[in-house]
Structure 1
Amino acid sequence: MESINWLAIVVATLLTFVLGAIWYGPLFGKRWMAENGFTEEELKNANMAKIYGTAFVLEFIMTVNLAFFLNGLSVQEGLMYGFATGFGWVAMAIGVNYLFARKSMMLWFIDGFYFVVSFLIMGAILTAWT
């Protein structure tokens, strides 16, 4: 715990959160809504404070968890393990769930690869700031 850089964790979490705003906004927002069958009206009626607040806490927990694994590694290793975590574990786990839920491959790409990029960012920041 002593060697964990909490500032790096907060920054990595914030950047992952910002990535989500871009990813699910201008990049893939409309397509994500269509793939989920959401309308703009449905999204406006959601409890966004609860959704954003909980998402931030969950991303913080993911970042802390990754920090324990990456502690003391180089940036190159952080990127490699960030990618391996995002692609090999998270995106593939989402893919398995989406197969059984009969969700589209496009939705899997949008959701799964958000986490690939997120864990790359986390891995880079967590190892650059050690």
Structure 2
Amino acid sequence: MSLPTDAVTALQAFQAIGGWEQRARLLMQWGERLSALPEADKVDANLVQGCESLVWLVGHLQDGHWQFAASSEARLIRGLVALLLARVNGLSAAELQTVDLPDWFAQLGLSRQLSPSRSNGLNAVLQRMRELSCTQH
């Protein structure tokens, strides 16, 4: 399966740098690129369950491909969510089911920085995306 353009961009950027400090800086930059969600979308119905940090997620189907938007108060989580969005935006519902989260963050060189709680939180976000994609065709 080919990667969305943003995912390729992310991979090239993260694979081009060494050390964790540079990756952490890049991670924060990705988080800053995340468009702010309108306050109207920051409602309990859009809150992802299973995250220690508050993460809101909305998604819509456009020509058979999913586009998600998300927001979080936590800077590090915002960066990780931005990278997850880069990986999944533009996928079909079927492709969304096959996304391998640990593999994606391993490719980015970020798996060591994913604590179990962060990993669980990101899995919860991906799970919520899959639920949305199954309920809206």
* TM-score (normalizing by structure 1): 0.36
More strand by proportion, 1 or 2? Answer: 2
| Structure with more relative contact order (C-alpha pairs < 8 Å, separation 6 or more) | 1
Which protein is bigger by CA-based radius of gyration?
1
More helix by proportion, 1 or 2? Answer: 1
